[in-house]
Amino acid sequence: MLRLVIVDDEAPARASLRAALAGIPLEMEVVGEAASVAEAISLLDAVKPDVVLLDIWLGDGTGFDVLDQLADRSARVVFITAFDHHAVTAFKRGALHYLLKPVVRADLQEAMERAKAAGAVSVDEVKDLRRALLDRITVPTAVGFHVFAPDEIVRCESDGNYTRFHLADGERVLASRTLKEFEGQLAAFGFMRVHLSHVVNMAQVKMYLHRDGGTLLLRDGQEVPVSDRRRQDVVEALGRRSTGSKG
């Protein structure tokens, strides 16, 4: 009999998985549920299940955080994701088993059959997926997570304890974290803090204007102020980008 644990921060999602599992003709038992990273680590180390149905994005972290901290690493993992089909490409590149929300019973049954045959992914085999997701920026909002390619983002603007993402298609997304919390992640993709309230995708800069102490004109027509203390760094960064593009 397969002993299962469900890890998802949404109670309706956990209930839906339980209902779907009940209709699958395999010997299985759900031995516990967890709604957060902390709960999951405690539960999984205590019950040592055969299979973990693991949501990628949890309220206090990610499924990767759970796997990183487990003492017992023998469980087989089936990832659950609410990513759109574009983002799911990353999972396919990682060659890992995943279920796309809302979970379809036939897909869940296939995953359980693979798990029973020891064909699901073990805890120690998640590195490929983690690497595959490194070229995406995850943005938590009040309703869930958005997943963007870096070139979809023009700039980010501080809005108190929130961050407003300005996208290339004109959409704006309000993230439930501060600009400072995103700054380090964005820097790896060529973004730069040009002002206390602004982080800019430097690939989207069309011109640097001297007026008003320094202003960036972006390719979509938006203008972003450059602070005095960051002006020299911005000019040097644009100079490096210009030199690099010629090579």
Strand (E) or helix (H) holding 81: strand 76-81
State whether 9 and 129 are in the same domain.
yes
- Among 90, 113, 134, give the residue marking a domain's end: 134
Three-state SS at 103:
coil
pLDDT for 40 equals 95
Compute the distance between CA of residue 136 and CA of residue 68 in angstroms, rounded to an integer. 20
State whether 123 and 172 are in the same domain.
no
pLDDT for 177 equals 86
State whether 203 and 182 are in the same domain.
yes
The CATH number for 77's domain is 3.40.50.2300
> Which residues are within 8 A (CB) of 169 and not within 5 positions of it... i.e. 6 or more apart?
152
State whether 156 and 110 are in the same domain.
no
Q: Inter-axis angle of helices 105-116 and 11-22, to 10 degrees?
A: 70
pLDDT for 56 equals 81
Domain span including residue 25: 2-134
Residues 22-77: tens digit of each pLDDT: 999 999 999 999 999 999 999 999 999 999 999 887 877 778 888 888 877 778 88
Q: What are phi and psi of 235, to 5 degrees?
A: -60, -45
C-beta of residue 95 within 8 angstroms of C-beta of residue 127 = no
- Among 134, 163, 191, give the residue marking a domain's end: 134
Residue in 211, 215, 210, 212 with CA at minimum distance from that of residue 198: 215
- Among 103, 134, 165, give the residue marking a domain's end: 134
Residue in 21, 126, 123 with CA at minimum distance from that of residue 75: 123
State whether 111 and 48 are in the same domain.
yes
In which band, very low, low, confident or very high, does the pLDDT at 172 lie, cut at 50, 70 and 90?
very high
State whether 126 and 20 are in the same domain.
yes
pLDDT for 192 equals 96
Predicted TM-score (pTM) above 0.75: no
Greatest Cα pair distance in the chain: 71
Domains contained in the chain, number: 2
The CATH number for 242's domain is 2.40.50.1020
Residues 83-133: tens digit of each pLDDT: 654 445 545 544 357 787 888 899 899 889 888 886 556 656 666 566 556
State whether 124 and 18 are in the same domain.
yes
